[in-house]
Amino acid sequence: MESTQQAEQQRAARQRRRQLLEAADRVVLRDGPHASMNAIAAEAGITKPILYRHFGDKGGLYRALAKRHTDALLDALRAALDAPAERRERVEATLDTYLAAIEARPQVYRFLMHPAEDTQPPEHGPEQGFDVGRHSAPLLRRLGEELAQVIAERVDLGPDTEGLARVWGHGIVGMMHGAGDWWLGERPCSRAQLVRSLADLLWGRLAAVDDRAGGPGF
């Protein structure tokens, strides 16, 4: 009986946490980097101390939101990489998947990444001193490591495949982030044009390497 009650309590806690994250998402979509714990608590119909009880501070909430959106993005990137198409098409589809994600929800992107120019003065309490840039670096590192693993599984880069795949993984993520951030702010060209240009940049050695034996290829 006690075990059943504990399981129900854990399930209820997970559901409540998911509801709070959905409320936070709605506020972020509306307010972007200006989203505050006060606004999120109000959207969820609770007090701010209760929100702190679930996430600790704005950094804890940020990490939970970052994981939620990064998990979804990684699933979409893997699907693009594994699509039944030629390698060049899959490279372009992967780049387009990332750019489409930040274009579709720019306020979420700005909240999660580094818009120091958009942030308002920190509120009193556990939010004070929140630094989006400091928290976004682990998110980019995670994307880099995940992409490195995908590359290592799919293409044969020679004796140091794992090491080179990590260089490529983090380099590609850095390129997507830097180019995407610039493009989202200035819109100097269409998304399709940016995808083709970035794919051209990547295509040199990637066009020449072999797929891994027994693997799905890149």
- Low-confidence stretches of the chain (pLDDT < 70) are 1-2, 114-135, 205-218
Q: Per-residue DSSP letters for 96-125?
A: HHHHHHHHH-HHHHHHHS--TTTPPPPPSS
Distance of CA 144 to the CA centre of its chain: 11
- Looking at residue 95, what is its pLDDT? 95
Tens digits of per-residue pLDDT, 23-54? 999 999 998 888 888 999 999 999 999 988 88
- Looking at residue 129, what is its pLDDT? 46
CA distance 104 to 27: 16
10 Å CB burial of residue 151 (0-12, 13-18, 19+) is buried
- Looking at residue 178, what is its pLDDT? 94
CA distance 128 to 119: 12
C-beta of residue 37 within 8 angstroms of C-beta of residue 48 = yes
CA distance 16 to 55: 12
- Looking at residue 131, what is its pLDDT? 54
- Looking at residue 57, what is its pLDDT? 84
Q: Which two tokens stand for residue 96?
A: 């387009």
Give all domains of the chain, ordered by start, each with its CATH number: 65-211 (1.10.357)
- Looking at residue 148, what is its pLDDT? 92
Q: Which amino acid is at 141?
A: R
- Looking at residue 174, what is its pLDDT? 94
10 Å CB burial of residue 71 (0-12, 13-18, 19+) is exposed
Tens digits of per-residue pLDDT, 125-150? 444 444 555 667 888 898 999 899 98
